[in-house]
Amino acid sequence: MKYYATRADRPLRGEVRVPGDKSISHRAVLFSAMAQGTSHLTGVLDSADVRSTISAVSALGAEIEVVRETRDGLDLRVTGWGGGGPVAPAEAIECGNSGTTARLLMGVLAGWDRHVVLQGDGSLSRRPMARVTDPLVAMGAEFKSRGGLLPVSVRGGSLHPVDHVLTVASAQVKTALLLAGLRAEGCTVVTEPAPSRDHTERMLPAYGVAVGRDKDAHRAWVDGPAYLTAADVAVPADPSSAAFLVAAAVLVPGSDVAMLDIAVNPTRTGFLRVLARMGARVSVDLDDATGGEPTAVLRAHFTEDLRATTVTSEEVPSLIDEVPVLAVVATAASGTTRFEGVRELRVKESDRLMAVAEGLAALGCTVRTGEDWLEIDGPCQLGSAALDSCGDHRLAMAYAVAALVAQEPVTIDHFEAVDVSYPGFVSDLQALSVSAAL
């Protein structure tokens, strides 16, 4: 699907609740499927990626009932497989475009004597899985694949605990190893070079599983064997989705947008800290805690005098999904904005690093990039371009935000990718008085 985006002809104004957090939704569905008993989930993100997890755990024996579908997401009743473990499905499990589904399931399945094949779409099948399978093999599981890519055949079994030291901070890898550790005899430890998202560490205790943490050392651990029990989880709104509306409000003259019930877990709000350094007028008003996560109202205003900044490699794990839209904001900032240590962008749904550089260059910006860095000179006037999202939801939305301040229309191909995380993105823009046409 092509999206024909035009310059905003009026400010963005009003308040909106973006969809439920994708990372938390995946975990709530998966942990409930693993648990003994029936869990009740509210506000689960209704997107292609989360639907992949729902379908996968259903194939593995969990019973899932959609109680209600609302604008805020899905309310689910999930009866898990508990101590009996998952069943071996008759066919391969389709993970779609969801790396979270595939990688977390590898950790779950590693400790059960079942044979399961995980497969994905063309994009997911190009993303590396060895970073998960190699440490799980060290624990005693068996995996077969071609070159560490999907499809992957899993044969779980008896696991032993391992003290894992990751070379790249990754919440998906960390979670997979901790979930496998629940089936091992003893203490499984995961140490990262920098802090990554800690939703797993926050959520597992609600399911009756203690998680040890040393935040200063970026270390987490579980003692196994341990089993989950049912829990009720309310999913807050996704800060990564909110980031696109925050950026749009900061860039479009006269804008004033409030976003409600946003998860403001410190491991997810690096983009807000970067915007603050750039001088963006964004406020964070803490209001409550939802699903074990702190929440807030974010309010973003148009900011005329943005300034460039440097995003260091230590910051990247807390804003990896927001780099594309921060790069768009950088086009309006005075000076050179530099992103360091962003090699991970090359193995997302697309090579995001290359795609962002090429997309901004096509819009008329001066951009430089290397193997793990990106620089944007600003301010620059954006022009017309025909862009391709490469099937990547973050790129599709980042380009749409750029189009709001471009002098001429921008065409974005494969825009349907937004359904992966934010199916209502265009309708929310329209509700905030943005002129947009499909």
Cα–Cα distance list, 400 to 169, 328, 382, 420 (Å): 29, 10, 12, 16
Residue 287, pLDDT score? 86
Q: Are residues 29 and 63 in the same domain?
A: yes
Cβ atoms 400, 429 nearer than 8 A: yes
Q: Are residues 70 and 152 in the same domain?
A: yes
Q: Are residues 59 and 187 in the same domain?
A: yes
CA dist., res. 127 & res. 347, Å (int): 6
Give me 374's structure tokens: 């990106």
Q: Are residues 213 and 320 in the same domain?
A: no
What range does the domain containing 54 cover? 22-234
CA dist., res. 20 & res. 18, Å (int): 7
Show Cβ contacts of residue 427 under 8 Å, excluding neighbours closer than 6 positions. Answer: none
Q: Are residues 10 and 129 in the same domain?
A: no
Residue pLDDT, tens place only, 16-38: 999 999 999 999 999 999 999 99
Give me 175's structure tokens: 């979670």
Q: Where does a domain end: 234, 252, 282?
A: 234
Q: Are residues 69 and 111 in the same domain?
A: yes
Q: Are residues 309 and 361 in the same domain?
A: yes
Residue 291, pLDDT score? 65
Residue 98, pLDDT score? 95
Q: Where does a domain end: 234, 258, 283?
A: 234
Give the distance, in angstroms, between the CA of residue 244 and the centroid of all CA atoms in the same chain. Answer: 13
Per-residue pLDDT of the chain (438 residues; tens, 9 = 90+): 899 999 999 999 999 999 999 999 999 999 999 999 999 999 999 999 999 999 999 999 999 999 999 888 999 999 999 999 999 999 999 999 999 999 999 999 999 999 999 999 998 999 999 999 999 999 999 999 999 999 999 999 999 999 999 999 999 999 999 999 999 999 999 999 999 999 999 999 999 999 999 999 999 999 999 999 999 999 999 999 999 999 999 999 999 999 999 999 999 999 999 999 999 999 999 987 766 799 999 999 999 999 999 999 999 989 999 999 999 999 999 999 999 999 988 877 778 999 999 999 999 999 999 999 999 999 999 999 999 999 999 999 999 999 999 999 999 999 999 998 899 999 999 999 754 333
Q: What angle do CA 280, 283, 284 make, to 5 degrees?
A: 135
Q: Are residues 313 and 208 in the same domain?
A: no
Residue 426, pLDDT score? 92
- The amino acid at residue 1 is M
CA dist., res. 57 & res. 27, Å (int): 11
Q: How many domains does the chain have?
A: 2
Give me 124's structure tokens: 């997911």
CA dist., res. 233 & res. 206, Å (int): 8
CA dist., res. 126 & res. 153, Å (int): 16
Residue 290, pLDDT score? 67
Domain CATH number, residue 168 = 3.65.10.10
Classify burial at 100, counting beta carbons within 10 Å of its beta carbon; exposed 0-12, middle 13-18, buried 19 or more: buried
Q: Are residues 229 and 240 in the same domain?
A: no
Q: Are residues 295 and 199 in the same domain?
A: no
Residue 122, pLDDT score? 92
Q: Where does a domain end: 200, 234, 268?
A: 234
Residue 288, pLDDT score? 75
Known catalytic residues?
A: 321
CA dist., res. 172 & res. 365, Å (int): 33
pTM reported for the whole predicted model: 0.91
Give the alpha-carbon dihedral of 307, 312, 317, 319, to 10 degrees: 10
Bridge partners (DSSP) of residue 386 are 411
Q: Are residues 393 and 287 in the same domain?
A: yes
Q: Are residues 79 and 91 in the same domain?
A: yes
